[in-house]
């Protein structure tokens, strides 16, 4: 069904009966209705109704890491239930509302139907399936335990996405509030302050210094606001461009982020949790430690920790114990190092790494909740200073005039 992944594919819904006479239905994409009928007959389904889906109000969307996590869990569940791999792809693809994800699944299915190993088929989609994912699937295929490895991958992806959401939650609330505060302040400076300025001109008296400063700021924003906005957008775009292409800059920013108050400890705990979760997943799949550490490095989400893990890998490759190599980086908490040491000595490194990951994932949850509680009064204070300060500045002359009267 190679044509089903062409650029001009059309989404269809279908209903029919299988070889046992049971009523079945689903979704698929194809170049036309005849292609859908041919594919259904090839699968042993007699089509009763085929209907083209409207895409007028439906975006093709894009494939996100959350989509890959859900796909991993669905595929693991299907294989554990004994459903053949190709049929599992049909079911998962048909039940996906994201057309981009549906096309991706059907593309992989077409490769697998053509005789390509699942790991190789996934490897053709490097934007969505990283080396860690592909290597684990390859290990599962070689060991004849694909459903077990997919279950581990699904758990890993779910845990990783949960941590990402927690970090985004920690950053989103204060950022959103400060952006709104900036917008409100700008509106006051551009539209409200000038009205007060016109009123004050009839007073015939000197304005308080604070009020004069706010009016001067309002005039500056009105006269130079566009230049400031264009400059800010240009500076931000240039910053993002350089950041995307300069690993050195990203490393500097990651290092600064780790040293920031409140948010720094959360980022450290998240990096340790990702390190431990990925190590546990790779090691339990039978991947050699040195090879596993290469995947672990890229999964930490922080270049400082990535460099540290690559240093650990080099030391382990020369015969150094993992515990000692981790201690040499001065980045990992003593508790983590001691638990890894116990895992090495007892031959249960995957289990101890999993316990470390569980602990730090819970710690990230608690830290984010605590930070939110800590930031709320601070943000309210900032809003009060910004908006309240402007209001006070405008009413000071009126209060002064009332006192004179």
Q: What is the pLDDT of residue 307?
A: 93
The total of other beta-carbon atoms located within 10 Å of residue 247's CB is 12
Rounded to 5 degrees, what are φ and ψ at 124? -75, -5
Q: Beta strand 46-52 with 23-30: parallel, antiparallel or unpaired? A: unpaired
The total of other beta-carbon atoms located within 10 Å of residue 86's CB is 12
Provide the 3-class DSSP secondary structure of residue 278: helix
> CA 251 to CA 396: how far, in whole Å?
48
> CA 130 to CA 135: how far, in whole Å?
9
CA angle (130, 136, 137) in 5-degree steps: 90
Which of 350, 283, 293 lies closest to 320 in space, CA to CA?
293
pLDDT digits (tens, 9 = 90+) for 132-173: 888 888 888 887 888 888 888 888 888 888 888 877 877 777
Cβ atoms of 326 and 336 closer than 8 Å:
yes
Q: What is the pLDDT of residue 294?
A: 83
pTM higher than 0.85 for the full model? Answer: no
The total of other beta-carbon atoms located within 10 Å of residue 268's CB is 22
> CA 40 to CA 85: how far, in whole Å?
17
The total of other beta-carbon atoms located within 10 Å of residue 322's CB is 21
Which of 148, 150, 145, 117 lies closest to 133 in space, CA to CA?
150
Q: What's the 3-state SS for 44-56? A: CCEEEEEEECCCC
| pLDDT of the chain, 405 residues: tens digit per residue | 444 433 456 777 888 887 777 787 777 777 778 888 888 888 788 888 888 765 544 445 688 888 888 888 888 888 888 888 888 888 887 777 788 888 888 889 888 988 899 989 998 888 888 888 888 888 888 878 888 888 888 888 888 888 888 778 777 777 887 788 888 888 888 888 888 777 777 666 677 888 888 888 888 888 887 888 898 889 989 988 888 888 888 889 999 989 988 788 888 998 999 899 889 888 888 888 888 888 888 888 889 999 999 999 999 999 999 999 999 999 999 999 999 999 988 888 989 999 999 999 888 888 887 777 777 787 788 878 887 888 888 888 777 665 544
The total of other beta-carbon atoms located within 10 Å of residue 334's CB is 8
Q: What is the pLDDT of residue 180?
A: 83
pLDDT digits (tens, 9 = 90+) for 253-302: 999 989 988 788 888 998 999 899 889 888 888 888 888 888 888 888 88
Question: Which residues, other chains included, contact 26 with Cβ-Cβ below 8 Å and sequence gap of 6+?
Answer: 13, 14, 90, 91, 94, 95
What percent helix, strand, coil does the chain show, rounded to 5? 75, 5, 20
> CA 163 to CA 276: how far, in whole Å?
13
Q: What is the pLDDT of residue 338?
A: 93
Q: What is the pLDDT of residue 54?
A: 58
Rounded to 5 degrees, what are φ and ψ at 63? -85, 120
The total of other beta-carbon atoms located within 10 Å of residue 112's CB is 18
Q: What is the pLDDT of residue 69?
A: 87
> CA 378 to CA 376: how far, in whole Å?
5
The total of other beta-carbon atoms located within 10 Å of residue 95's CB is 12
Q: What is the pLDDT of residue 401?
A: 63
Cβ atoms of 39 and 2 closer than 8 Å:
no
Provide the 3-class DSSP secondary structure of residue 335: helix
């Amino acid at each position: 069904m190679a044509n089903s992944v062409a650029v001009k594919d059309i989404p269809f819904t279908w209903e029919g009966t299988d070889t046992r006479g049971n009523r079945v239905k689903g979704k698929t994409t194809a170049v036309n209705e005849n292609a859908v009928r041919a594919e259904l007959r090839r699968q042993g389904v007699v089509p009763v109704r085929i209907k083209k889906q409207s895409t007028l109000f439906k975006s093709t969307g894009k494939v996100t890491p959350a989509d890959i996590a859900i796909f991993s869990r669905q595929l693991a569940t299907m294989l554990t239930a004994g459903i053949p791999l190709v049929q599992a792809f049909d079911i998962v693809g048909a039940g996906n509302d994201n057309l981009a994800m549906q096309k991706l699944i059907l593309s992989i299915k077409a490769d697998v139907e053509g005789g390509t190993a699942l790991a190789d088929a996934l490897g053709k989609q490097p934007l969505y399936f990283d080396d860690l994912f592909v290597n684990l699937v390859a290990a599962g295929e070689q060991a004849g335990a694909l459903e077990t490895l997919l279950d581990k991958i699904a758990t890993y992806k779910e845990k990783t996405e949960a941590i990402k959401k927690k970090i985004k939650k920690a950053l989103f609330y204060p950022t959103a509030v400060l952006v709104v505060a900036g917008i409100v302040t700008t509106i006051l400076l551009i539209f409200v302050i000038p009205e007060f300025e016109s009123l004050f001109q009839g007073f015939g008296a000197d304005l308080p210094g604070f009020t004069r400063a706010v009016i001067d700021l309002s005039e500056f924003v009105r006269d130079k606001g566009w230049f400031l906005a264009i400059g800010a957008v240009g500076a931000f775009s240039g910053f993002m461009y350089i950041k995307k292409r300069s690993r050195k800059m990203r490393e500097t920013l990651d290092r600064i982020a780790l040293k920031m108050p409140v948010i720094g400890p959360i980022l450290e705990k998240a990096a340790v949790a990702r390190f431990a979760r990925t190590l546990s997943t790779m090691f339990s799949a039978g991947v050699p430690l040195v090879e596993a550490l290469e995947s672990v490095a890229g999964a930490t989400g922080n270049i400082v920790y990535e460099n540290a893990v690559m240093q650990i890998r080099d030391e382990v490759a020369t015969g150094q114990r993992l515990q000692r190599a981790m201690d040499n980086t001065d980045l990992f908490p003593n508790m983590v190092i001691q638990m890894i040491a116990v895992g090495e000595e007892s031959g249960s490194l995957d289990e101890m790494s999993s316990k470390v990951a569980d602990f730090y994932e819970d710690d990230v949850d608690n830290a984010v909740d605590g930070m939110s509680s800590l930031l709320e009064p601070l943000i309210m204070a900032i809003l009060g200073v910004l908006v309240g300060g402007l209001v006070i500045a405008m009413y000071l002359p009126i209060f002064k005039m009332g006192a004179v009267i």
